[in-house]
Chain A
Amino acid sequence: MLKLKDRRQRMLVKRMVELSLKDGIPDSERVSAVLSAVRNQTPRSHRTILRAYLAAIRSLTRESTLEVVHAGALDSQGIDSFRKGMETRMNRNLMLDSREDPSLIAGSRVTIGDHVWDASLRGLIARLID
């Protein structure tokens, strides 16, 4: 994460991030509105502030994205109920990013931020090799 030395800049970025969230998740409409507001006011060190804002939103997006990679096809209802289960477990709203990856061979791999739950055959083989 980009560190800002100036306290006022830090406070501004923090406020920008707060305004960009909807139910704890970065929202594209809100982000556009924030960017537009910042563009109109053009604060000092505009570029630095935007970079720090980008780093914060990137980190938040990663933390609130439930990435489900699966080897075979999964029904959308099942995935949705899984998302709800994970939301309860993590105690926050999550965005779902689901995709198929045959290289897993079988099973699935779930990622939220830097937490990974690996239940794939590829992962199992890798652990056996270790």
Chain B
Amino acid sequence: MSSIIETIENEIRNLETAVRKENIGHIISIADGVARIEGLSDVMYNEMIEFPGGIIGQALNLNEGEVGSVVFGDISGLKEGDEVKTTGRLFSVPVGMCLLGRVVDALGNPIDGKGPIEAKEFFPVEKIAPGIIPRRSVNQPVQTGIMSIDSMIPIGRGQRELIIGDRATGKTTIAIDTIINQARINDEGIASGDPEFRPLYSIYVAVGQKNANVARTIRTLEQADAMKYTIIVSAPAADNPANQYIAPFSGAAMGEWFMSKGKDALIVYDDLSKQAVAYRQISLILKRPAGREAFPGDVFYLHSRLLERAARLNEENGGGSLTALPIIETQAGDISAYIPTNVISITDGQIFLETDLFNQGIRPAIAVGLSVSRVGSSAQTKALKKVAGQIKLQLAQFRELAAFAQFGSDLDPKTKAQLDRGSRIVELFKQPALKPFSMEVEVGIVWAMQNNFFDDIPLDQITRAKLSLQDHLQGRGSSVLESIKKKKELTDDIAAALRKTVEEWKQTWSND
């Protein structure tokens, strides 16, 4: 008996008896996810602060006598007078491979009912973006599987490409297609056993969306078997604005982990307009001065510091990358509004989607004239660069001529030919959702178009012809596709073999 007592006594003696110093404050008021706190004289900007019940906040306003803080999570249990403590830490979220296949909230807590996440590492949500020295230029492609994007507006690993357009124009679809295509490429690459293959992991951050939409996205990714390479961070419309504000930063922290380990990751922010609205709400409650459209003065910095974290690191720093696809929703196609212009100026290009094109059945509804990738063809494989070099110019000329041609009936043969080619390219680039093409198939189809194999096919048959050519390439022309995939360029031998395969297809093709 005495030994038992001695054991307990020893346990008590071994307990930490050092005096613990704390910096505390008291809630003066709390509403709409924002608390005003008296005290906390030692608190630092963006420091994590602890409310009763384990609720976490972040100090955003440091005034002379009080601190303004956002509160993450349920604030219904908090009241005026409650004690608040500083933690001396920055707000961090779990990171690592264990998050793949999981759906988490803005704080990194699992919300998919698949049990706790056993994370060994945590990364701060606010982190200074990599500087100039550790970066290298973007030169590896992110294959979206969408033919019009891969051929005309190529995206590279480490790039920031904005997807912008009105509501219901297919912005999310482009992002989801890209994630699904990465999963397909990852599966093929891992199965091939190629030691140089670098899988691209995806993070989808849903901000201010309806829960039903997020559930549909998850289901789509599950059906495509893409969840195993994907993390979903969800801060739906029902969440408090603080969670909607922090969710993209949490996602960026998760993506940065992959980059820091020399891996490649893709992050989709869907969408940053809603994050800006949540930030505006927080800022107005914190009584920060309002500027244009009532947004606070630092809303540009909100997005620039987030998107600057997307980078491609050089070999000395692991060679990892984080590619960002932010989404912005415009109102009535107005890209000159405050948030769209801000994000356009921050990113390395934009894919602009038009309601009119969408309603005409041209999907993805990409406005070629307004869309650009500032990284350019350096993020394209040599094969695709070779076959798609002129296509953007041809399509832009077509759009210009098509508008002009409406005024007159007599057109010279050259203009007619340009119009004809343009309409065929438009038809060729029509692509249903969730049906991404592989790079080699894209090369085959665009090559066939550029070499006039579609010229005698009626416009309404182009889509059918494209699918037929795809089947033929994947069947009888699989060896050619394999060569393109392996060499990633269109050598004379491969081009000759491709011509032979396409000619074979053309002989079997019937316009009926």
Interface residues of A (CB under 8 A from B): 1, 55, 59, 113-119, 123-124, 127-128
Q: Which residue, of A113, A114, A117, has the highest number of chain B Cβ atoms within 10 A? A: A114
Contact A113 B41 (CB under 8 A): yes
Contact B19 A117 (CB under 8 A): yes
Q: Closest residue to A109 on the B side, CB-wise?
A: B19
Assembly CA distance A1 to B39 (angstroms) = 10
Q: Residue-by-residue, is B284-310 near A (CB-CB < 8 Å gives 1, otherwise 0)? A: 000000000000000000000000000
Q: Closest residue to A130 on the B side, CB-wise?
A: B54
Collect the chain A residues with CB atoms within 8 Å of residue B20's CB: 117-119, 123, 127
Collect the chain B residues with CB atoms within 8 Å of residue A118's CB: 19-20, 22
Q: How far is the CB of A67 from chain B (nearest CB, A)?
A: 12
- Judge if B403 is at the interface, Cβ distance under 8 Å: no
- Judge if B55 is at the interface, Cβ distance under 8 Å: no
Collect the chain B residues with CB atoms within 8 Å of residue A119's CB: 17, 19-20
Contact B41 A114 (CB under 8 A): yes
Contact B66 A1 (CB under 8 A): yes
User: In the complex, given contacts A115-B42, A124-B16, what are 20 additional A-B residue pairs having Cβ atoms less than 8 angstroms apart?
Assistant: A55-B65, A113-B39, A113-B41, A114-B24, A114-B25, A114-B39, A114-B41, A114-B42, A115-B22, A115-B23, A115-B24, A115-B41, A116-B22, A117-B19, A117-B20, A117-B21, A118-B19, A119-B17, A119-B20, A124-B17
Q: Which residue, of A1, A55, A113, A116, has the highest number of chain B Cβ atoms within 10 A? A: A116
Q: How far is the CB of A84 from chain B (nearest CB, A)?
A: 18
Collect the chain B residues with CB atoms within 8 Å of residue A128's CB: 15
Q: How far is the CB of A66 from chain B (nearest CB, A)?
A: 15
Interface of A is mostly: mixed
Collect the chain B residues with CB atoms within 8 Å of residue A59's CB: 65
Collect the chain A residues with CB atoms within 8 Å of residue B22's CB: 115-118
Out of B16, B42, B65, which one reaches A1, CB within 8 Å?
A: B65
Collect the chain B residues with CB atoms within 8 Å of residue A55's CB: 65
Collect the chain A residues with CB atoms within 8 Å of residue B42's CB: 114-115
Q: Residue-by-residue, is B7-47 near A (CB-CB < 8 Å gives 1, otherwise 0)? A: 00000000111011111110000000000000111100000
- Judge if B64 is at the interface, Cβ distance under 8 Å: yes
Collect the chain A residues with CB atoms within 8 Å of residue B41's CB: 113-115
Assembly CA distance A92 to B469 (angstroms) = 85
Collect the chain B residues with CB atoms within 8 Å of residue A116's CB: 21-24
5 inter-chain pairs at a CB distance below 8 angstroms, sorted by A residue, are A114-B24, A115-B41, A116-B24, A119-B19, A124-B15
Collect the chain A residues with CB atoms within 8 Å of residue B39's CB: 113-114
Assembly CA distance A117 to B17 (angstroms) = 12
Q: Tally chain B residues at the interface, Cβ within 8 Å.
A: 17
Assembly CA distance A117 to B21 (angstroms) = 4
Assembly CA distance A123 to B24 (angstroms) = 14
The 5 closest A-B pairs by CB, nearest first: A1-B65, A114-B39, A119-B19, A116-B22, A117-B19
Q: How far is the CB of A36 from chain B (nearest CB, A)?
A: 27
Assembly CA distance A1 to B66 (angstroms) = 7
Assembly CA distance A55 to B15 (angstroms) = 41
Assembly CA distance A114 to B27 (angstroms) = 13
Q: How far is the CB of B133 from chain A (nearest CB, A)?
A: 41
Collect the chain A residues with CB atoms within 8 Å of residue B66's CB: 1
Assembly CA distance A115 to B19 (angstroms) = 12
Collect the chain B residues with CB atoms within 8 Å of residue A123's CB: 20
Q: Which residue, of B20, B21, B25, B42, has the highest number of chain A Cβ atoms within 10 A? A: B20
Q: Closest residue to A125 on the B side, CB-wise?
A: B15
Assembly CA distance A113 to B65 (angstroms) = 12
Q: How far is the CB of B56 from chain A (nearest CB, A)?
A: 13
Collect the chain B residues with CB atoms within 8 Å of residue A1's CB: 64-66
Assembly CA distance A1 to B65 (angstroms) = 5
Collect the chain A residues with CB atoms within 8 Å of residue B25's CB: 114
Q: Residue-by-residue, is B453-479 near A (CB-CB < 8 Å gives 1, otherwise 0)? A: 000000000000000000000000000
Q: Closest residue to B43 on the A side, CB-wise?
A: A114
Contact B15 A114 (CB under 8 A): no
Q: How far is the CB of B35 from chain A (nearest CB, A)?
A: 15
Assembly CA distance A83 to B20 (angstroms) = 18
Assembly CA distance A119 to B23 (angstroms) = 14
Contact A115 B65 (CB under 8 A): no
Q: Closest residue to B26 on the A side, CB-wise?
A: A114
Q: How far is the CB of A123 from chain B (nearest CB, A)?
A: 7
Q: Closest residue to B64 on the A side, CB-wise?
A: A1
Q: How far is the CB of B81 from chain A (nearest CB, A)?
A: 14
Assembly CA distance A59 to B20 (angstroms) = 24
Collect the chain B residues with CB atoms within 8 Å of residue A113's CB: 39, 41
Collect the chain A residues with CB atoms within 8 Å of residue B24's CB: 114-116
Out of B16, B17, B19, B23, which one reaches A114, CB within 8 Å?
A: B23
Collect the chain A residues with CB atoms within 8 Å of residue B21's CB: 115-117
Q: Closest residue to A119 on the B side, CB-wise?
A: B19
Q: How far is the CB of A30 from chain B (nearest CB, A)?
A: 22
Assembly CA distance A115 to B41 (angstroms) = 8
Assembly CA distance A116 to B20 (angstroms) = 8
Collect the chain A residues with CB atoms within 8 Å of residue B23's CB: 114-116
Q: How far is the CB of A91 from chain B (nearest CB, A)?
A: 15
Assembly CA distance A111 to B19 (angstroms) = 12
Q: Which residue, of B17, B19, B22, has the highest number of chain A Cβ atoms within 10 A? A: B19
Q: How far is the CB of A5 from chain B (nearest CB, A)?
A: 13
Contact B40 A114 (CB under 8 A): yes
Assembly CA distance A55 to B64 (angstroms) = 12
Collect the chain B residues with CB atoms within 8 Å of residue A115's CB: 21-24, 41-42
